[in-house]
Amino acid sequence: MDTENLFKRVIFVFALLILFLVLFIPHDHAKMPMHVDSWIHLTIAKEIADQRQITDTCPYQFMQTCPYPHGFHVFAALFTNVTGFPLHLLELLLVPLLFVLLGLLNFCIAKELFESEEVAFLSMIFTLLVIGNMTIIGPLYFVPQTLAFILLWTAWLLFLKKQYLLACLPFGLIIVTHRSTLVLGFFLLCANLLPLLLEKRSIKQSVMMSLIPLTILGLIALAYRKTIIPVLQYALISPIETPQQFLPQMVSWTFVVIALLGLIAMALLRNKVRWMFLPLLGFLIIDYVLFHLTGYGYGILYRRLVFFIIMFLPFMVGRGVMLLQETAEHLFKREWIKTYQIVLFVLMIVLIPKALSINLSTMPSSVWVTPQEHQLWSAFAVQHEGAELLTDHLEAYALPYYGLQPLQTSPMHLAGGYNDFLRFPYYYQNETQLIPFFKQHPHAYLYYSTPFNSSAFEPVMNRSSLGIYRFKEGSS
Amino acid sequence: MNAKQMMITSSAAAILFVLLTIVISKDMGIALRTSFMLLAIFIFPVFLLPKSWTLTEKLALGPGITIAILVLLAYGTSTILHLPLTPGTSMTLVTLTIAAVSGIGIMLNTIQQNKK
């Protein structure tokens, strides 16, 4: 460790502990995956673990081929194969650990870029600003994007350390892990090559160095061309996506202003960072502003764009806070301001709790599947393997994990089989509409988490207020 | 950081991992196997990666490199060799991954020494 004394080490470990606990406590409280997307990917991972091979089929009722690359699922399947660890608990175990790792990577990358331990530490602690909510399926959940960003940041740090060949390993895995992160990866690679090419003395070396990873990437891209073409269709030629959330509403104006100060500091003060960050962040920010002004984006889907900007936010905020300290030193010219870094200290006391509160406020307060539902569905699936079950349209996405078939699926999650008819009758427990449906599906079952009294349905399995019901034949 | 300090660090990490996995899985056997896997991903690379890197860099870079090798090996095993990804195969892949990370560390150390 580079930190020089015990106090710095204790603060460093304490900061890592905060990063761990900020995700561990809510996940431990929930006990189950916290987002419907986690269930989708865990189910695919379970399919790979059960089949013991990488398959292209998706264990959903309406999907023939899987729309996702499998890198993340293979990792989860391998992990559970070796350890026997239940897949649905992996989110609780790995997400907080990967968040700590993201903080460490932010520290090392910022140290390489800014050559300052203070900025590096600030970038690490402001990893707290990397939040997750409905539109940003980020490090809060166990989804491919979480792993892909760890891989991308690893590749970036290796690139900064001039380990070009080694950088190809994590970069190669991003190709088969997450498509839009790969798009950002290409932008990031170009942004990193720019300063190398601008160093006149090393142009030949830089070109050679950039050719090696690009060639290898090209070969990998050829090998996985089935993945690359959807990448281009999905992300580069992006469909219009209306902006849903305004960045300052998500991370507050305070951090947006400090981040812009950081960006100004990068533009004015450091050549190495200037040529790396400005074209990339400039592109992302201009695209973001254009989205808000015109409703059109150029190159990246809006929700990914917000997430990409948020991933760079710790560096910008870290540099911005340091700029305020440097400005105070310059303006007031008092020795004690410089010696004790008093402005930095005060800002940290104010801003770290604020970042923490922003992170916590974006945590979901409920889970799609509770531990009690997990127990009930597991027990039901043992006796009725492959049975059709009508649940809430988002809970339905967890059903294939238990080997059960959903009868309605979410309209937001790619499935073409969303049964619009079932949504409201299900919510309002409307028998007159449910009964004709169950007459057409006499072998299907009905699940409710609240008490359901009906002469047309009889309970098959109960756990406190939760119940699975069967349609009584002959009911009208 | 010397060998003794590294041993202490990794032992502390192992104990923390065991405690964490026991809390989550409530099963000692699963907890021990999971702790081994977590050590292989997060801690073993610290011993294996080049000496010229700082401890923080090794801690930050190790897991990404290890996961990348592990999953790419699994991809190759399944799609090129057409071997099933059984628990035995998976364990072999983890062992091969540790060996590969070690090889990378030795190679980078040698390159560094040759430069000197």
Name A457's bridge partners: A471
Mean pLDDT within A416-431: 69
* % of chain B surpassing 70 pLDDT: 98
Give the C-alpha separation, A34 to A365, whole Å.
Answer: 9
Q: Which residues of B touch A107 (CB under 8 A)?
A: 56, 60
CA of A396 to nearest chain B CA: how many angstroms apart?
25
Q: What is the pLDDT of residue A136?
A: 65
* Res. A475: pLDDT tops 70: no
* % of chain A surpassing 90 pLDDT: 30
Give the C-alpha separation, A156 to A178, whole Å.
Answer: 16
CB contact under 8 A, B29 and A84: yes
CA-nearest residue to A108 within chain B is: B57
Q: What is the pLDDT of residue A179?
A: 77
CA-nearest residue to B91 within chain A is: A82
**pLDDT tier, A415 (very low <50, low <70, confident <90, very high otherwise):** very low
Tell how strand A405-406 and strand A388-390 pair up.
parallel
CB contact under 8 A, B84 and A163: no
* Res. A3: pLDDT tops 70: no
Q: Residue type at A378?
A: S
Mean pLDDT within A336-365: 86
Query: Residue A101 is nearest to which of B29, B60, B90, comparing CB atoms?
Result: B60
- B58-73 tens-digit pLDDT: 999 999 999 999 999 9
- A287-344 tens-digit pLDDT: 888 777 777 666 677 777 888 888 999 999 999 999 999 998 888 877 777 777 888 8
Mean pLDDT within A18-23: 92
Q: Which residues of A touch B63 (CB under 8 A)?
A: 101, 150, 154
**pLDDT tier, A237 (very low <50, low <70, confident <90, very high otherwise):** very low
Interface contact B18, partner A, CB < 8 A: no
* Res. A176: pLDDT tops 50: yes
Query: Residue A104 is nearest to which of B21, B56, B108, comparing CB atoms?
Result: B56
* Res. A441: pLDDT tops 60: yes
* Res. A152: pLDDT tops 70: yes
- A363-414 tens-digit pLDDT: 777 788 889 999 999 999 999 988 889 888 788 888 889 988 888 765 555 4
* Mean pLDDT over the full length of chain B: 90
Query: Residue A53 is nearest to which of B42, B56, B85, comparing CB atoms?
Result: B85
Whole-complex ipTM: 0.95
Q: Which H or E run contains A74?
A: helix A71-83
* Res. A258: pLDDT tops 50: yes
Burial A327-359 (b: 16+ CB within 10 A, else e): ebbeeeeeeebbeebbbbeebbeebbeebeebb
Q: What is the pLDDT of residue A212?
A: 62
Mean pLDDT within A167-179: 86
CB contact under 8 A, B70 and A101: no
Q: Which residues of A touch B53 (CB under 8 A)?
A: 161
Q: What is the pLDDT of residue A416?
A: 47
Higher pLDDT, A421 or A396: A396
Give the C-alpha separation, A209 to A252, whole Å.
Answer: 41
* % of chain A surpassing 70 pLDDT: 81
Q: Kindly list the domain boundaries of chain A, sorted by start residue.
A: 6-361, 371-471
Give the C-alpha separation, A371 to A373, whole Å.
Answer: 5
**pLDDT tier, A224 (very low <50, low <70, confident <90, very high otherwise):** low
- A73-83 tens-digit pLDDT: 999 999 999 99
DSSP string of B35-76, one letter each residue: HHHHIIIIIHHHHHS-TTS-HHHHHHHHHHHHHHHHHHHHHH
For the beta carbon of residue A130, count every other beta carbon within 10 angstroms: 25
* Mean pLDDT over the full length of chain A: 82
* Res. B28: pLDDT tops 70: yes
* Res. B76: pLDDT tops 60: yes
CB contact under 8 A, B75 and A74: yes
Sequence-separated contacts (24+) of B15-22 with Cβ below 8 Å: B20/A93, B21/A85, B21/A93
**pLDDT tier, A211 (very low <50, low <70, confident <90, very high otherwise):** low
**pLDDT tier, A244 (very low <50, low <70, confident <90, very high otherwise):** low
CB contact under 8 A, B65 and A166: yes
* Res. A187: pLDDT tops 90: no
Q: What is the pLDDT of residue B95?
A: 95
Query: Residue B24 is nearest to which of A2, A81, A92, comparing CB atoms?
Result: A92
List all residues of chain B from 49 to 108 with a beta carbon under 8 Å from chain A.
53-57, 59-61, 63-65, 67-72, 74-75, 78-79, 82, 84-87, 90-91, 93-94, 104, 108
Query: Residue A108 is nearest to which of B20, B56, B71, comparing CB atoms?
Result: B56
Q: What is the pLDDT of residue A137?
A: 66
* Res. A419: pLDDT tops 80: no
A vs B: CB pairs below 8 A: 136
Per the CB < 8 A criterion, the answer to whether A167 and A161 are in contact is no
- B30-54 tens-digit pLDDT: 999 999 999 999 999 998 899 889 9
Q: Can you say whether residue A333 is alpha, beta or left, with left for phi > 0 and alpha for psi between -120 and 50 degrees? A: left
Mean pLDDT within A239-266: 82
